Amino acid sequence: MNLSTATDSQRITRRHFFSECGYGVGKLALAGLLTDAFAKSTGPAGTHFAPRAKRVIHLFQAGAPSQLELFDSKPKLKQLEGSPLPPSVIGDQRYAFIQRNAAVLGPRFPFARHGQCGAELSDKLPHLAKVVDDISIIRSMHTDQFNHAPGQIFFSTGSAQPGRPCLGSWLSYGLGAETDNLPAFVVLSTGGGISGGSALWSAGFMPGKHAGVRFRNTGDPILNVSSPSGVDVRLQRESLDLIEALNRRRLEVENDPEIATRIENYEMAFRLQSSAPELMDLKSERPETLQLYGADPAKPSYARACLLARRMIERGVRCVNIYHSGWDAHSNVAGNITNNTRATDQASAALIQDLKQRGLLDETLVIWGGEFGRTPMVESNPTLNRSLGRDHHPQAFSLWMAGGGVKGGVTLGATDELGFHITERPVHIHDLQATFLHLLGLDHERLTFHHAGRDYRLTDVHGNVVQDILS
Protein backbone atom coordinates (compact mmCIF):
# COMPACT_ATOMS: atom_id res chain seq x y z
CA MET A 1 0.00 0.00 0.00
CA ASN A 2 2.60 2.50 -1.02
CA LEU A 3 2.29 5.52 -3.27
CA SER A 4 2.84 4.81 -6.93
CA THR A 5 3.52 7.06 -9.93
CA ALA A 6 1.07 7.85 -12.69
CA THR A 7 0.93 5.50 -15.65
CA ASP A 8 2.34 6.39 -19.06
CA SER A 9 -1.14 6.65 -20.53
CA GLN A 10 -2.10 9.18 -17.86
CA ARG A 11 1.01 11.23 -18.65
CA ILE A 12 0.11 11.23 -22.36
CA THR A 13 -3.43 12.31 -21.54
CA ARG A 14 -2.22 15.26 -19.48
CA ARG A 15 0.28 16.33 -22.14
CA HIS A 16 -2.46 16.24 -24.73
CA PHE A 17 -4.60 18.39 -22.49
CA PHE A 18 -1.91 21.02 -22.04
CA SER A 19 -0.95 21.18 -25.70
CA GLU A 20 -4.35 20.91 -27.33
CA CYS A 21 -7.10 21.96 -24.99
CA GLY A 22 -6.09 25.28 -23.43
CA TYR A 23 -6.76 26.42 -19.86
CA GLY A 24 -10.07 28.25 -19.88
CA VAL A 25 -13.21 27.81 -17.86
CA GLY A 26 -14.68 25.60 -20.57
CA LYS A 27 -12.08 22.89 -19.85
CA LEU A 28 -12.95 22.54 -16.13
CA ALA A 29 -14.82 19.25 -16.54
CA LEU A 30 -11.90 17.62 -18.31
CA ALA A 31 -9.49 18.98 -15.72
CA GLY A 32 -11.62 17.40 -13.01
CA LEU A 33 -11.48 14.02 -14.73
CA LEU A 34 -7.70 14.23 -14.92
CA THR A 35 -7.49 15.16 -11.26
CA ASP A 36 -9.59 12.13 -10.36
CA ALA A 37 -7.42 9.83 -12.47
CA PHE A 38 -4.26 11.10 -10.91
CA ALA A 39 -5.66 10.88 -7.38
CA LYS A 40 -6.53 7.22 -7.93
CA SER A 41 -2.94 6.51 -8.90
CA THR A 42 -1.37 8.00 -5.78
CA GLY A 43 -2.81 6.11 -2.81
CA PRO A 44 -4.09 2.74 -1.68
CA ALA A 45 -7.70 3.81 -0.94
CA GLY A 46 -9.18 0.42 -0.20
CA THR A 47 -10.14 -1.87 2.69
CA HIS A 48 -8.51 -5.18 3.57
CA PHE A 49 -11.82 -6.72 4.62
CA ALA A 50 -15.45 -5.73 5.10
CA PRO A 51 -15.59 -2.65 7.35
CA ARG A 52 -17.98 -2.25 10.27
CA ALA A 53 -17.66 1.55 10.19
CA LYS A 54 -17.30 4.03 7.33
CA ARG A 55 -16.20 7.05 9.33
CA VAL A 56 -14.98 8.23 12.74
CA ILE A 57 -15.87 11.03 15.14
CA HIS A 58 -13.17 11.34 17.78
CA LEU A 59 -14.13 13.39 20.84
CA PHE A 60 -10.68 13.97 22.28
CA GLN A 61 -10.79 15.30 25.85
CA ALA A 62 -7.39 16.98 26.01
CA GLY A 63 -5.82 17.35 29.43
CA ALA A 64 -6.83 13.89 30.73
CA PRO A 65 -10.22 13.58 32.49
CA SER A 66 -10.17 11.96 35.91
CA GLN A 67 -11.52 8.43 35.57
CA LEU A 68 -11.95 8.33 39.35
CA GLU A 69 -14.59 11.08 39.15
CA LEU A 70 -16.32 9.72 36.03
CA PHE A 71 -16.06 6.00 35.22
CA ASP A 72 -14.10 4.04 37.83
CA SER A 73 -15.76 4.01 41.24
CA LYS A 74 -13.31 3.42 44.13
CA PRO A 75 -14.99 3.58 47.57
CA LYS A 76 -11.73 2.38 49.16
CA LEU A 77 -10.10 5.71 48.33
CA LYS A 78 -12.66 7.46 50.46
CA GLN A 79 -11.71 5.28 53.42
CA LEU A 80 -7.99 5.94 52.93
CA GLU A 81 -8.23 9.66 52.18
CA GLY A 82 -5.34 11.52 53.80
CA SER A 83 -3.07 8.45 54.10
CA PRO A 84 -0.18 7.72 51.72
CA LEU A 85 -0.24 4.73 49.42
CA PRO A 86 2.17 1.91 50.26
CA PRO A 87 5.51 2.19 48.37
CA SER A 88 4.92 -1.34 47.08
CA VAL A 89 1.92 -0.04 45.13
CA ILE A 90 3.68 2.93 43.57
CA GLY A 91 6.93 1.21 42.67
CA ASP A 92 9.25 3.33 40.55
CA GLN A 93 6.52 5.30 38.79
CA ARG A 94 7.47 8.92 38.12
CA TYR A 95 5.03 11.79 38.36
CA ALA A 96 4.97 15.22 36.81
CA PHE A 97 4.24 17.25 39.94
CA ILE A 98 3.73 15.12 43.06
CA GLN A 99 5.91 13.01 45.32
CA ARG A 100 5.36 9.29 45.59
CA ASN A 101 4.27 9.59 49.22
CA ALA A 102 1.41 11.97 48.43
CA ALA A 103 -1.78 11.30 50.38
CA VAL A 104 -4.83 9.57 48.92
CA LEU A 105 -7.69 11.72 47.63
CA GLY A 106 -11.12 10.12 47.73
CA PRO A 107 -13.59 10.39 44.83
CA ARG A 108 -15.37 13.73 44.75
CA PHE A 109 -18.75 12.48 43.44
CA PRO A 110 -21.11 9.54 44.02
CA PHE A 111 -21.60 6.76 41.47
CA ALA A 112 -24.72 4.81 40.48
CA ARG A 113 -25.62 2.01 38.08
CA HIS A 114 -27.52 2.84 34.89
CA GLY A 115 -29.23 1.15 31.98
CA GLN A 116 -29.96 -2.51 31.43
CA CYS A 117 -26.20 -3.19 31.48
CA GLY A 118 -25.84 -1.72 34.98
CA ALA A 119 -22.71 0.28 34.17
CA GLU A 120 -21.43 2.52 36.96
CA LEU A 121 -21.18 6.21 36.17
CA SER A 122 -20.59 9.33 38.20
CA ASP A 123 -23.55 11.62 38.86
CA LYS A 124 -21.71 14.19 36.72
CA LEU A 125 -22.69 12.20 33.61
CA PRO A 126 -26.52 12.24 33.71
CA HIS A 127 -26.88 12.47 29.93
CA LEU A 128 -24.38 9.74 29.15
CA ALA A 129 -26.27 7.57 31.65
CA LYS A 130 -29.28 7.68 29.26
CA VAL A 131 -27.29 6.12 26.40
CA VAL A 132 -25.03 3.82 28.45
CA ASP A 133 -26.53 0.74 26.78
CA ASP A 134 -25.20 2.04 23.46
CA ILE A 135 -21.58 2.51 24.54
CA SER A 136 -18.63 0.35 25.51
CA ILE A 137 -16.56 1.61 28.45
CA ILE A 138 -12.93 0.54 28.71
CA ARG A 139 -11.60 1.00 32.27
CA SER A 140 -8.22 -0.61 31.67
CA MET A 141 -6.48 1.73 29.26
CA HIS A 142 -2.77 2.42 29.70
CA THR A 143 -0.12 4.39 27.87
CA ASP A 144 3.67 4.89 27.75
CA GLN A 145 3.55 8.67 28.29
CA PHE A 146 2.89 10.72 31.41
CA ASN A 147 3.01 14.30 30.07
CA HIS A 148 0.41 15.99 27.91
CA ALA A 149 2.11 16.83 24.61
CA PRO A 150 3.85 13.46 24.14
CA GLY A 151 0.77 11.66 25.50
CA GLN A 152 -1.57 13.35 23.03
CA ILE A 153 0.82 12.85 20.13
CA PHE A 154 1.28 9.18 21.11
CA PHE A 155 -2.48 8.66 21.21
CA SER A 156 -2.90 10.27 17.79
CA THR A 157 0.16 8.97 15.93
CA GLY A 158 1.55 5.95 17.78
CA SER A 159 4.76 7.84 18.55
CA ALA A 160 5.58 10.36 21.29
CA GLN A 161 7.67 12.42 18.86
CA PRO A 162 6.08 14.77 16.30
CA GLY A 163 6.47 13.91 12.64
CA ARG A 164 4.33 10.77 12.23
CA PRO A 165 0.95 10.62 10.47
CA CYS A 166 -2.03 10.76 12.80
CA LEU A 167 -5.03 8.42 12.84
CA GLY A 168 -7.11 10.66 10.57
CA SER A 169 -4.26 10.79 8.06
CA TRP A 170 -3.95 7.00 8.05
CA LEU A 171 -7.69 6.77 7.36
CA SER A 172 -7.46 9.32 4.55
CA TYR A 173 -4.48 7.44 3.06
CA GLY A 174 -6.01 3.99 3.51
CA LEU A 175 -9.61 4.72 2.53
CA GLY A 176 -9.56 7.90 0.47
CA ALA A 177 -12.26 10.55 0.50
CA GLU A 178 -16.03 10.04 0.20
CA THR A 179 -16.72 13.52 -1.19
CA ASP A 180 -15.05 16.05 -3.46
CA ASN A 181 -16.65 19.02 -1.71
CA LEU A 182 -15.19 18.66 1.77
CA PRO A 183 -11.88 17.40 3.18
CA ALA A 184 -11.61 13.76 4.17
CA PHE A 185 -10.29 14.77 7.60
CA VAL A 186 -11.56 17.78 9.59
CA VAL A 187 -10.44 19.18 12.94
CA LEU A 188 -12.49 21.27 15.38
CA SER A 189 -11.43 22.53 18.79
CA THR A 190 -13.07 24.02 21.87
CA GLY A 191 -11.67 25.18 25.18
CA GLY A 192 -8.12 26.55 25.47
CA GLY A 193 -4.88 25.56 23.77
CA ILE A 194 -3.92 21.97 22.95
CA SER A 195 -0.55 20.80 24.25
CA GLY A 196 0.23 18.56 21.28
CA GLY A 197 -0.58 21.31 18.78
CA SER A 198 -0.86 20.68 15.05
CA ALA A 199 1.19 17.46 15.36
CA LEU A 200 -2.11 15.85 16.42
CA TRP A 201 -3.64 16.28 12.96
CA SER A 202 -0.45 16.28 10.88
CA ALA A 203 0.12 13.96 7.92
CA GLY A 204 3.75 13.63 9.02
CA PHE A 205 5.81 12.17 6.19
CA MET A 206 2.72 11.40 4.09
CA PRO A 207 1.64 13.80 1.34
CA GLY A 208 0.07 16.90 2.84
CA LYS A 209 -3.35 16.13 1.34
CA HIS A 210 -3.87 13.59 4.15
CA ALA A 211 -3.49 16.19 6.93
CA GLY A 212 -6.48 17.39 8.94
CA VAL A 213 -8.10 20.64 7.83
CA ARG A 214 -8.88 22.83 10.82
CA PHE A 215 -12.25 24.57 10.79
CA ARG A 216 -12.57 27.72 12.92
CA ASN A 217 -15.33 28.51 15.40
CA THR A 218 -15.83 32.13 14.30
CA GLY A 219 -15.48 34.11 11.07
CA ASP A 220 -14.62 32.23 7.90
CA PRO A 221 -14.67 28.48 8.60
CA ILE A 222 -11.26 28.13 6.97
CA LEU A 223 -8.60 30.82 6.68
CA ASN A 224 -7.78 32.22 3.24
CA VAL A 225 -10.72 30.56 1.48
CA SER A 226 -12.82 33.68 0.83
CA SER A 227 -12.13 35.51 -2.43
CA PRO A 228 -10.35 38.87 -2.19
CA SER A 229 -12.33 42.01 -2.93
CA GLY A 230 -12.79 42.58 -6.67
CA VAL A 231 -12.20 38.94 -7.65
CA ASP A 232 -15.24 37.29 -9.23
CA VAL A 233 -15.81 33.59 -9.87
CA ARG A 234 -14.72 33.70 -13.51
CA LEU A 235 -11.42 35.44 -12.77
CA GLN A 236 -10.72 33.09 -9.90
CA ARG A 237 -11.52 30.04 -12.03
CA GLU A 238 -9.28 31.17 -14.88
CA SER A 239 -6.46 31.91 -12.44
CA LEU A 240 -6.79 28.48 -10.84
CA ASP A 241 -6.81 26.77 -14.24
CA LEU A 242 -3.60 28.50 -15.19
CA ILE A 243 -1.93 27.66 -11.87
CA GLU A 244 -3.05 24.07 -12.19
CA ALA A 245 -1.59 23.79 -15.67
CA LEU A 246 1.76 25.10 -14.48
CA ASN A 247 1.72 22.79 -11.45
CA ARG A 248 0.93 19.77 -13.62
CA ARG A 249 3.77 20.56 -15.97
CA ARG A 250 6.08 20.72 -12.97
CA LEU A 251 4.61 17.51 -11.59
CA GLU A 252 5.59 15.66 -14.76
CA VAL A 253 9.19 16.73 -14.19
CA GLU A 254 9.47 16.34 -10.41
CA ASN A 255 6.92 13.58 -9.70
CA ASP A 256 6.56 15.13 -6.22
CA PRO A 257 3.39 14.11 -4.30
CA GLU A 258 3.35 17.53 -2.65
CA ILE A 259 2.77 19.16 -6.03
CA ALA A 260 -0.22 16.86 -6.53
CA THR A 261 -1.37 17.87 -3.05
CA ARG A 262 -1.05 21.54 -4.03
CA ILE A 263 -3.24 20.98 -7.10
CA GLU A 264 -5.88 19.19 -5.06
CA ASN A 265 -5.81 21.82 -2.31
CA TYR A 266 -6.45 24.66 -4.75
CA GLU A 267 -9.45 22.83 -6.17
CA MET A 268 -10.73 21.88 -2.71
CA ALA A 269 -10.45 25.50 -1.55
CA PHE A 270 -12.49 26.60 -4.57
CA ARG A 271 -15.24 24.09 -3.77
CA LEU A 272 -15.16 24.94 -0.06
CA GLN A 273 -16.17 28.50 -0.85
CA SER A 274 -19.69 27.20 -1.38
CA SER A 275 -19.77 23.98 0.65
CA ALA A 276 -18.23 25.25 3.92
CA PRO A 277 -20.66 28.12 4.60
CA GLU A 278 -23.64 25.83 4.02
CA LEU A 279 -22.12 23.20 6.30
CA MET A 280 -21.46 25.65 9.13
CA ASP A 281 -24.90 27.31 8.98
CA LEU A 282 -27.07 25.60 11.60
CA LYS A 283 -30.25 27.55 10.80
CA SER A 284 -31.58 24.56 8.86
CA GLU A 285 -31.45 22.34 11.97
CA ARG A 286 -34.73 21.73 13.76
CA PRO A 287 -35.20 23.45 17.14
CA GLU A 288 -35.59 20.02 18.75
CA THR A 289 -32.16 18.99 17.46
CA LEU A 290 -30.51 22.16 18.72
CA GLN A 291 -32.18 21.59 22.09
CA LEU A 292 -31.01 17.97 22.17
CA TYR A 293 -27.37 19.06 21.85
CA GLY A 294 -27.78 22.22 23.90
CA ALA A 295 -26.29 24.14 20.97
CA ASP A 296 -26.67 27.82 20.18
CA PRO A 297 -26.12 28.19 16.41
CA ALA A 298 -24.51 31.59 16.88
CA LYS A 299 -22.07 30.69 19.69
CA PRO A 300 -18.94 28.53 19.54
CA SER A 301 -19.19 25.56 21.91
CA TYR A 302 -18.48 21.88 22.25
CA ALA A 303 -22.18 21.26 21.62
CA ARG A 304 -22.04 23.17 18.34
CA ALA A 305 -18.90 21.23 17.35
CA CYS A 306 -20.64 17.88 17.99
CA LEU A 307 -23.61 18.92 15.86
CA LEU A 308 -21.26 20.08 13.11
CA ALA A 309 -19.48 16.72 13.29
CA ARG A 310 -22.75 14.94 12.56
CA ARG A 311 -23.41 17.28 9.62
CA MET A 312 -19.89 16.62 8.31
CA ILE A 313 -20.14 12.85 8.30
CA GLU A 314 -23.55 13.15 6.61
CA ARG A 315 -21.80 15.05 3.82
CA GLY A 316 -19.00 12.51 3.40
CA VAL A 317 -16.21 13.62 5.74
CA ARG A 318 -14.23 10.52 6.68
CA CYS A 319 -12.84 11.58 10.07
CA VAL A 320 -13.78 14.41 12.43
CA ASN A 321 -11.61 15.19 15.44
CA ILE A 322 -13.02 17.46 18.14
CA TYR A 323 -10.41 18.56 20.67
CA HIS A 324 -11.91 19.85 23.91
CA SER A 325 -9.14 21.05 26.20
CA GLY A 326 -9.28 22.01 29.87
CA TRP A 327 -9.33 18.67 31.71
CA ASP A 328 -5.91 19.09 33.37
CA ALA A 329 -7.06 19.00 37.01
CA HIS A 330 -3.88 19.65 39.01
CA SER A 331 -6.03 21.66 41.40
CA ASN A 332 -9.70 21.46 42.39
CA VAL A 333 -10.50 18.29 40.48
CA ALA A 334 -14.13 18.56 41.60
CA GLY A 335 -14.55 21.98 40.01
CA ASN A 336 -12.70 20.89 36.89
CA ILE A 337 -14.97 17.88 36.38
CA THR A 338 -18.10 19.91 37.10
CA ASN A 339 -17.21 22.59 34.54
CA ASN A 340 -16.12 20.19 31.82
CA THR A 341 -19.01 17.76 32.14
CA ARG A 342 -21.40 20.71 32.05
CA ALA A 343 -19.82 21.63 28.71
CA THR A 344 -19.54 18.14 27.19
CA ASP A 345 -21.88 15.55 28.72
CA GLN A 346 -25.14 16.59 27.06
CA ALA A 347 -23.66 17.03 23.59
CA SER A 348 -21.63 13.80 23.69
CA ALA A 349 -24.75 11.82 24.58
CA ALA A 350 -26.83 13.79 22.07
CA LEU A 351 -24.41 12.83 19.30
CA ILE A 352 -25.04 9.14 20.05
CA GLN A 353 -28.82 9.69 20.12
CA ASP A 354 -28.85 11.79 16.97
CA LEU A 355 -26.71 9.37 14.97
CA LYS A 356 -28.87 6.47 16.14
CA GLN A 357 -32.12 8.23 15.18
CA ARG A 358 -30.76 8.95 11.70
CA GLY A 359 -29.53 5.40 11.13
CA LEU A 360 -25.90 6.56 11.12
CA LEU A 361 -24.57 5.11 14.38
CA ASP A 362 -24.01 1.61 12.98
CA GLU A 363 -21.58 2.99 10.39
CA THR A 364 -19.99 5.75 12.49
CA LEU A 365 -17.39 4.99 15.15
CA VAL A 366 -17.44 7.45 18.07
CA ILE A 367 -14.58 7.63 20.58
CA TRP A 368 -14.46 9.71 23.79
CA GLY A 369 -11.39 10.00 26.01
CA GLY A 370 -8.11 11.71 26.85
CA GLU A 371 -4.41 10.98 26.69
CA PHE A 372 -4.08 9.32 30.16
CA GLY A 373 -5.73 9.28 33.59
CA ARG A 374 -5.34 10.92 36.99
CA THR A 375 -3.67 9.70 40.17
CA PRO A 376 -5.47 8.32 43.23
CA MET A 377 -3.18 10.59 45.25
CA VAL A 378 -3.80 14.28 45.80
CA GLU A 379 -1.81 17.12 44.28
CA SER A 380 -1.31 19.97 46.71
CA ASN A 381 1.28 22.69 46.17
CA PRO A 382 0.88 26.06 47.94
CA THR A 383 3.69 27.56 45.85
CA LEU A 384 1.73 26.85 42.66
CA ASN A 385 -1.60 27.59 44.38
CA ARG A 386 -2.79 24.02 43.90
CA SER A 387 -4.95 21.94 46.21
CA LEU A 388 -7.29 18.94 45.98
CA GLY A 389 -6.12 18.10 42.46
CA ARG A 390 -4.78 14.96 40.79
CA ASP A 391 -1.56 14.42 38.85
CA HIS A 392 -1.01 12.53 35.56
CA HIS A 393 -1.50 8.76 35.69
CA PRO A 394 -0.52 6.65 32.66
CA GLN A 395 -1.00 3.19 34.26
CA ALA A 396 -4.80 3.12 34.23
CA PHE A 397 -7.54 5.28 32.76
CA SER A 398 -10.95 5.05 31.11
CA LEU A 399 -12.61 5.96 27.83
CA TRP A 400 -15.68 4.92 25.87
CA MET A 401 -16.59 3.99 22.31
CA ALA A 402 -19.87 3.57 20.45
CA GLY A 403 -21.29 2.66 17.05
CA GLY A 404 -19.46 1.27 14.04
CA GLY A 405 -19.21 -2.35 15.15
CA VAL A 406 -18.75 -1.71 18.88
CA LYS A 407 -20.91 -3.61 21.38
CA GLY A 408 -23.23 -1.50 23.48
CA GLY A 409 -23.66 -1.96 27.23
CA VAL A 410 -20.15 -3.35 27.80
CA THR A 411 -17.70 -2.45 30.54
CA LEU A 412 -14.28 -3.92 29.80
CA GLY A 413 -11.38 -4.22 32.22
CA ALA A 414 -10.87 -3.34 35.85
CA THR A 415 -8.38 -1.72 38.22
CA ASP A 416 -7.43 -2.52 41.79
CA GLU A 417 -9.38 -1.10 44.74
CA LEU A 418 -7.17 2.00 44.67
CA GLY A 419 -7.55 2.63 40.94
CA PHE A 420 -3.79 2.47 40.55
CA HIS A 421 -3.03 -0.74 38.62
CA ILE A 422 -4.99 -2.66 36.01
CA THR A 423 -6.20 -6.06 37.22
CA GLU A 424 -8.29 -7.23 34.25
CA ARG A 425 -7.90 -6.99 30.48
CA PRO A 426 -5.29 -4.26 29.95
CA VAL A 427 -5.71 -2.28 26.72
CA HIS A 428 -2.74 -0.33 25.41
CA ILE A 429 -3.02 2.71 23.15
CA HIS A 430 -1.59 0.62 20.28
CA ASP A 431 -4.37 -1.94 20.86
CA LEU A 432 -6.94 0.83 20.60
CA GLN A 433 -5.37 2.13 17.37
CA ALA A 434 -5.39 -1.38 15.91
CA THR A 435 -9.08 -1.63 16.82
CA PHE A 436 -9.90 1.73 15.19
CA LEU A 437 -8.40 0.58 11.92
CA HIS A 438 -9.96 -2.89 12.15
CA LEU A 439 -13.45 -1.45 12.50
CA LEU A 440 -12.89 0.56 9.33
CA GLY A 441 -11.78 -2.50 7.40
CA LEU A 442 -8.02 -1.92 7.69
CA ASP A 443 -5.46 -4.38 9.01
CA HIS A 444 -3.03 -2.39 11.15
CA GLU A 445 -0.18 -4.73 10.21
CA ARG A 446 -0.81 -4.38 6.47
CA LEU A 447 -1.57 -0.66 6.26
CA THR A 448 1.94 0.73 5.74
CA PHE A 449 3.65 3.75 4.22
CA HIS A 450 7.19 3.53 2.89
CA HIS A 451 9.43 6.34 4.12
CA ALA A 452 13.17 6.73 4.64
CA GLY A 453 13.90 3.16 3.67
CA ARG A 454 11.33 1.36 5.80
CA ASP A 455 7.61 0.63 6.04
CA TYR A 456 5.85 2.55 8.80
CA ARG A 457 2.51 1.78 10.39
CA LEU A 458 0.30 3.52 12.95
CA THR A 459 0.90 0.87 15.62
CA ASP A 460 4.64 0.52 14.91
CA VAL A 461 5.43 -3.14 15.79
CA HIS A 462 2.72 -3.43 18.46
CA GLY A 463 -1.03 -3.66 18.82
CA ASN A 464 -3.78 -6.26 19.03
CA VAL A 465 -7.42 -5.75 18.10
CA VAL A 466 -9.65 -5.57 21.19
CA GLN A 467 -12.08 -8.31 20.17
CA ASP A 468 -13.96 -8.12 23.48
CA ILE A 469 -15.84 -4.96 22.49
CA LEU A 470 -16.67 -5.90 18.90
CA SER A 471 -20.27 -6.75 18.07
Q: What is the tens place of the pLDDT at every residue in 415-427?
A: 999 999 999 999 9
User: Is beta strand 319-325 parallel, antiparallel or unpaired with respect to 185-190?
Assistant: parallel
Examine the domain organization and report whether 56 and 176 are in the same domain.
yes
Confidence of residue 7 (pLDDT cuts 50, 70, 90): very low
In terms of domains, do 112 and 172 share one?
yes
- CATH number where 367 lies: 3.40.720.10
Q: Are residues 279 and 161 in the same domain?
A: no
pLDDT over 50 (residue 16): no
**Given this model, what pLDDT does residue 33 score?**
35
Q: How many domains is the chain partitioned into structurally?
A: 2
Is there a single domain that holds both residue 165 and residue 76?
A: yes
Percent of the chain surpassing pLDDT 70: 81
pLDDT at 21 over 80: no
| Domain co-membership, 331 together with 454 | yes
**399 lies in the same domain as 310:** yes
Residues 248 and 346 in one domain: no
pLDDT tier for residue 99 given thresholds of 50, 70 and 90? confident
**Is 7 a domain residue?**
no
- Residue 302 CB partners (closer than 8 Å, separation 6+): 190, 191, 322, 324, 343, 344, 347
Crossing angle of helices 28-40 and 8-16, rounded to 10°: 160
Lowest mean pLDDT, pick from 94-103, 153-162, 333-342, 456-465? 94-103
- Whether 35 and 88 share a structural domain: no
Which of 235, 252, 285 delimits the end of a domain?
Answer: 285
pLDDT of amino acid 45: 66
My answer on whether 140 and 24 are in the same domain is no
In the predicted structure, residue 324 carries a pLDDT above the cut 50: yes
338/364 same-domain check? yes
Sorting pLDDT into bands at 50, 70 and 90, what band is 231? low
236 and 368 in a common domain: no
pLDDT band at residue 241 using 50, 70 and 90 as cut-offs: low
Residue 146 located in a structural domain: yes
Least confident of 18-32, 40-54, 161-175, 272-286: 18-32
- Residue 291: inside a domain, yes or no? no
Residue 20's pLDDT is: 42
Residue 145 resides in a domain: yes
Measure the CA–CA gap between 317 and 313, rounded to whole angstroms.
5
pLDDT at 141 over 90: yes
Domain-located, residue 184: yes
Do 449 and 375 lie in one domain? The reply is: yes
Give the least confident one: 28-42, 148-162, 246-260, 362-376: 28-42
269: containing domain: 12-41+227-285
Domain-embedded: residue 4: no
Residue 30: pLDDT band (50, 70, 90) is very low
Provide CB contacts within 8 A for 75, sequence distance 6+: 107
Percentage, residues of the chain above pLDDT 90: 67
Q: Which of 285, 315, 330 is the last residue of a domain?
A: 285
